[in-house]
Amino acid sequence: MTQVLLIFLPVVCALLIPLLFKKLPSIHTGWFVLLVPASLAVYYATFVTKLENHGPYTSTFHWVKSLDLSFTSYIDGLSLLFSLLITGIGALVVLYSIFYLDKNKEQLHNFYFYLLMFMTAMLGVVQSDHLISLYLFWELTSISSFLLIGYWYNRDKSRFGALKSMMITVFGGLMMLGGFLLVANMGDTYSIRDLVAQAPTLASSPYFVLALVLILLGAFTKSAQFPFYIWLPDAMEAPTPVSAYLHSATMVKAGIYLVARLTPIFAISEYWIWLVLGSGLITLFWGSFFALKQTDLKGILAFSTVSQLGLIMSMLGAAAISLHVDGGSSAIFKFAAFAAIFHLINHATFKGSLFMIAGIVDHETGTRDIRKLGGLMSLMPISFTVAAIGSLSMAGLPPFNGFLSKELFFTSMLALKEFTLFNFDTWGAIIPIIAWVASVFTFAYCLYFLYNTFIAKSDYKELPKKPHEAPFGMLISPIILASFVVIIFFIPNIIGKYFVKPAVLAIQPQLYRSASEIDITVKAFHGFKSTELWMTIAVVIVGFILFSTMKKWRKIYTLVPEKWSFNHLYDQLMLAADVGSKKLSNLYMTGAIRHYLMYMFACIVALVVTTLFLKDGFKFSFAHTAKIGIFEVAIVIVLIVGTLTVLLAKSRLTAIIALGAVGYSVALFFIIFNAPDLALTQLVIETVSVALFLLAFYHLPKRYRIEERMPFKINNFLIALGVGIMVTLLALSAQSQKLIPSISQYYKDTVFTEAGGGNIVNVILVDYRGFDTLFEITVLSIAGMAIIGMIKLRLSRKEKKSHENE
């Protein structure tokens, strides 16, 4: 139970943050915050050794029992690794932010509240075993990321970036929810563990591929894969600790986590392999290619993150293949999952430190523009060392951990050539080439980042601040991360044993029974015969040439105009949604009641007539009709003449009188059809209403008293005709097919004996169905009061108007 409740520890602690910020202004609030991730990190670290012998740890808190909703914390190798990354890097980032954010100028209570909220959300994402609570935490990461990007909310760019990331990730999140619901429906359970257990039967469902695509949409938008990566560069408007934490180490890896977690379910499908591998490779290439175009330090890092996430994603795609091969060649495919997790750890270490360095440079010089920076090496030696370690590791050079994961990456990509299923025999050969080219660009932008910031010559006077080395507190976190970069290079197999292999077991439970069965060891040196080594050497050489000739070929970035970019597409989409929907609603919301009436009548006619004929409801028979007498014909003629006069009259007075004639002929009808009560009422009411019409006519403003015939409009005519025909058809059909006899016989039998009356109409009104009458007289009273109100209250409105005029 404590295990699941600890997920909520950060957000509960967050409630105290505003209090601490207000009551203890002398101490930087970050120091209190630091305790939370640090203690959680220690707590999760205790699992590392325990996990080897005892299986996964679960802990459940039922949330809505009747709907089978629960928060389940499921700690296996994969979620433990992520939890450690979240809390560990979280602690380092909080430490860094204590020195980065000024306690007097910044709204720290907001910042740390959002950050702790994000921490809970992220822990929830990686530990949830329940699909719905996973989705819940997933959206919470989107929301807290939105808040953190928009932290400096008085800047336009921050708000734009926050909105953009929100739109894209929430779009993906909603798609993912759809996929989750489909999967849960297929397997009849929300638990991921149970779904994994019945993976083979799920694949036969007709919705399997749809669910797969929807879930991948969620993962790709969150992890900034092609073409959804566009929000990540704009999210760099966030404070640097946020960029380091959310947009390099944790949140963007939520998609990676999801893909890894669901690999046992979906790896059976070739769509999964192609989509994950393909989008990963495209993202890898695209991100590394465009990183060289950026001039903003954080922009370079953002594109580099995109590219590295693509790399991890592509390896997860390759990891899915290993379920389809067995026998001798299978050993070579097993590297992919290991490599993916290994690189994930490495990326978190070096990218976190690089972001912090970018923040330090920004903090100490006042700019992040790489064109203004340069020559900081001698002024900021520690920062330079850390930056060098980070970027050379990212470039894939020894003796840093990036070298190991890049070698593993080449190994798994080269292995794809051996794979023959799913059209890989035709395309498999291209994949290592793409991977290699992307690595060349990666190498080039790492040099670009390092050289132009620290080594190239530059004039310091143009910088907004006089640059100097950062305070030591700010350097602690990047130094710790950078030392991990080096340490991991020397002890990769210890990391592999305790962190990577348990995670690989979670990704590929079909292949291994326990983590110790995974027989992969990482070697720094494979011997001169290995292709990977020669590929790396080629990367270094070509990448160096590419970097040194950058000025010459950089023009190709301007070849493709801005119009064709995805950012432009996004802007246009947002604009189209905004302007387009406004146009659309202006098109039909004209404000003219005539138009709305036309829509309503046209819809009613269309619906009723279509239903009548589709359901074969139209019947026409004279079986139950009475004979038509001479009086009826005469009155009908009067009625028609009266109606036509109303329509065609030039003068309103004529129309009113003709309307009266229509009313009186209806009264005559009532007499003929033996309804004396109705006839009486109709006569009196018609008289009253004609009098009221005349009153209204008398009070018409003079300039509206122009006497002219109602103009003929074809639309009105057609709709009126349609309504008339519809009502006629309906009445004929209703008359021609009576399902049950009328209940009037009962009234006839009991009107005297039960109700003590003789006039059935009146007895129905006051006795059988007196309820209606009660409310009809209420309606009358309300109408009377409303008329009084309208007439008497008008005075005060006049006064108000005169006030306004003053």
Partner 1 sequence: MKMNNVILKTTTQVVFFIIFLFSIHIFLAGHFAPGGGFVGGLLTASALVLLLLTYDLKTVKNLLPINYMTLTAVGLLLALGTASLSAFFGEAFFMHYFDHFNIPLLGDTELHTAMIFDLGVYFVVVGVTMIIIQSIGGDE
* Residue numbers at the binding site for partner 1 (CB under 8 A): 676-677, 680-681, 684-685, 687-688, 692, 695, 755-759, 761-763, 765-767, 770-771, 773-774, 777-778, 780-781, 783-785, 787-788, 791-792
Helices 156-187 and 566-575, axial angle in degrees (round to 10): 90
Measure the CA–CA gap between 521 and 498, rounded to whole angstroms: 13
Q: Toward partner 1, which CB reaches closer, 611 or 781?
A: 781
Cα separation, 445 vs 386, whole angstroms: 17
Beta carbon of residue 770, minimum distance to partner 1 (angstroms, whole number): 5
∠ Cα 460 462 466 (to 5°): 50
545 vs 688 by CB, closer to partner 1: 688
Nearer to partner 1, 203 or 694 (CB): 694
Q: Residue 630 Cβ, how far from partner 1 at the closest point, in Å?
A: 25
Q: How far is the CB of 781 from partner 1 (least distance, A)?
A: 5
Burial-class residue 806 by CB neighbours within 10 Å (0-12, 13-18, 19+): exposed
Nearer of residues 606 and 782 to partner 1, judged by Cβ: 782
Task: Report the residue number, 569 or 785, with the smaller CB distance to partner 1.
Answer: 785
Distance of alpha carbon 565 from its chain centroid, rounded? 22
Nearer to partner 1, 476 or 671 (CB): 671
CB nearer to partner 1: pick between 725 and 777? 777
CB 726 within 8 Å of CB 609: yes
Q: How many CA atoms lie within 13 A of 504 on its CB side?
A: 33
The answer to whether 255 touches 312, Cβ cutoff 8 Å, is no
Give the nearer residue to partner 1 in terms of CB position, either 517 or 799: 799
Q: How far is the CB of 789 from partner 1 (least distance, A)?
A: 9
Q: Least distance to partner 1 from the beta carbon of 764, Å? A: 11
CB of 783 to partner 1, least distance (A): 7
Contact 63, 190 (CB under 8 A): no
Residues 6+ apart with CB under 8 A from 57: 3, 47, 50, 51, 73, 74, 75
Shortest gap between Cβ of 120 and partner 1 (angstroms)? 56
Going by the DSSP 8-state scheme, the letter that residue 252 receives in this structure is: T
Write the single-letter amino acid at 651: S
Q: Is 555 helix (H, G, I), strand (E, B) or coil?
A: coil
The gap from C-alpha 394 to its chain's centroid, in whole angstroms, comes to 31
Residue 241 CA to residue 257 CA, distance in Å, equals: 22
| Alpha-carbon span 480 to 493, nearest angstrom | 20
Supply the minimum distance, in Å, between the C-beta of residue 678 and partner 1: 9
Tell me whether residue 244 or residue 763 sits nearer to partner 1 (CB atom).
763
Query: How near is the Cβ of 670 to partner 1 at its closest, in Å?
Result: 11
Closest approach of partner 1 to the CB of residue 654, in Å: 23
Question: Residue 89 in contact with residue 126, Cβ under 8 Å?
Answer: no
Residue 200 or 784: the one with the smaller Cβ distance to partner 1 is 784
Of the candidates 300, 456, 476, 298, the one whose C-alpha atom is nearest the C-alpha of residue 376 is: 456
Q: Please, which residues have CB within 8 angstroms of residue 330's CB and are 6 or more apart in sequence?
A: 322
For partner 1, the closer of residues 634 and 672 by Cβ is: 672
> Dihedral sign, CA of 509, 510, 514, 518?
negative
Minimum CB separation from partner 1 for residue 166, in Å?
56
Query: How far apart are CB 658 and partner 1 at their closest, in Å?
Result: 23
Task: For residue 111, give both structure tokens.
Answer: 């910042």
Q: Decide if 297 contacts 316 (C-beta within 8 A).
A: no
**Residue number with CB closer to partner 1 (429 or 672):** 672
Helix (H, G, I), strand (E, B) or coil at 118: helix
Dihedral sign, Cα of residue 480, residue 483, residue 489, residue 494: negative
Question: CB–CB of 175/218 below 8 Å?
Answer: yes
Q: Which is nearer to partner 1, 200 or 676 (CB)?
A: 676
Q: What share of the chain is helix, strand, coil (3-state, %, to 5)?
A: 75, 0, 25
Q: Are 438 and 307 in contact (CB under 8 A)?
A: yes
CB of 801 to partner 1, least distance (A): 18
Query: Least separation, in Å, of the C-beta of 604 and partner 1?
Result: 31
The runs of H, that is alpha helices, within 223-334 are 231-234, 240-244, 253-266, 270-291, 297-321, 330-333
Degrees (nearest 5) of the Cα angle 165, 169, 172? 150
Q: How far is the CB of 771 from partner 1 (least distance, A)?
A: 6
**Smaller CB separation from partner 1, 630 or 791:** 791
Cβ nearer to partner 1, comparing 681 with 736: 681
Our CB check for partner 1 shows the closer of 246 and 764 to be 764
CB of 695 to partner 1, least distance (A): 7
The CB-of-777 to partner 1 minimum distance in angstroms stands at 4
For 434-497, the three-class secondary structure string (H helix, E strand, C coil) is HHHHHHHHHHHHHHHHHHHHHHCCCCHHHCCCCCCCCCHHHHHHHHHHHHHHHHHHHCHHHHHH
In angstroms, the CA 618 to CA 572 distance is 50
CA distance 485 to 341: 15
